[in-house]
Amino acid sequence: MKSALRNRLIENVFLIGLLGTRKTTKWILESHFKGISVYVNCWKYRSTHDILCEILRGLGFIVHGIEYTSKLITRLEKLTRKKSIIVCSDEVGQLKNFDILYTLARNECGLILISTSYHALMDLVSRIKSSLALTEIEFPAYKPEELFDLMKDKVKFSFKPGTITKKLIRIASMAVERNTRIGLEILGRVGRKAESKGLKVPIKEIKQAIREAEKLKKSYFLSKLNEH
């Protein structure tokens, strides 16, 4: 992606992995590519028109949402002639029409496509596939021991010594099915309770946090849906 900082094209990539494998590049874009990148959630923005509106808004343009699609494309074309743009499309498999990917690629936007499904782009027509020239990067699920180490490091830097035992961290890591998002949520919940009460974390708090964190699986998908 660094080539975009030198106003050059980036290599288009397809990031694949299950939930909680840390695929989302949102933080990297905001930290290092501000002003030349935009993140689009394809659960919420699925049509070509909506995605173009979101891209232009993310890059600082005023968009009312009533413009013709052709006008939006023209504005994008003018922009990409001046500087390299990175578009990150999360949950790309939810798109209504994959022609938007062709439009973006033809206008020399660098693309980061993200999906939990290996088959999300399986039905792309050849003209779109060839224009994208995607490099696939797989994010394998964490092994139980890897997740334990990750959570242990989080505790080391975020908790006072002795607040939570390694045994309880291992119990939490084994309960989250290798999903880092849920694992870190459990630590956050028990940490806040321990901080407010000034106590060490007991096993009953871990079990309660595990039950509460399980609800995240549903809320994660619900948060991606639009009003309809």
Cα–Cα distances (Å) from 32 to 7, 54, 86, 180, 193, in that order, read 14, 20, 12, 24, 34
Q: Is residue 79 part of a domain?
A: yes
Q: Say if residue 119 is in the same domain as residue 189.
A: no
Q: Which of 74, 108, 139 is the last residue of a domain?
A: 139
Q: Lowest-confidence range among 59-73, 111-125, 182-196?
A: 182-196
Evaluate if residue 225 carries a pLDDT over 80.
no
Residues 97 and 158 in one domain: no
**pLDDT at site 9:** 86
Q: How far apart are CA 129 and CA 7, in angstroms?
A: 24
Strand-by-strand arrangement of the 85-90 sheet: 37-41, 85-90, 109-115, 13-17, 135-139
Whether residue 223 is predicted with pLDDT greater than 70 in this model: the reply is: no
Residue 51 pLDDT more than 90?
Answer: yes
- Please check whether residues 41 and 90 belong to one and the same domain: yes
Specify whether 115 is located in the same domain as 45: yes
Q: Are residues 125 and 102 in the same domain?
A: yes
The alpha carbon torsion through 117, 122, 127, 128 (nearest 10 deg) reads -10
Q: What is the CATH number of the domain that holds 189?
A: 1.10.8.60
Which of residues 139, 172, 198 is at a domain's end?
139
Residue 226: inside a domain: no
Provide the domain count of the chain.
2
Where a domain ends, among 139, 174, 203?
A: 139
Tens digits of residue pLDDT in 53-81 = 999 999 988 888 888 999 999 999 999 98
| Domain annotation covers residue 223 | no
Range of the domain at 18: 2-139
Same-domain pairing of 115 and 56? yes
135 and 35 share one domain: yes
- Co-location of 14 and 100 in the same domain: yes
Residues 163 and 135 in one domain: no
Helices (H) and strands (E) in the chain — how many of each?
10, 5
The CATH code of the domain that includes 115 is: 3.40.50.300
Residues 51 and 114 in one domain: yes
Same domain, 68 and 30: yes
pLDDT attached to residue 224: 63
> Could you tell me if residue 210 is inside a domain?
yes
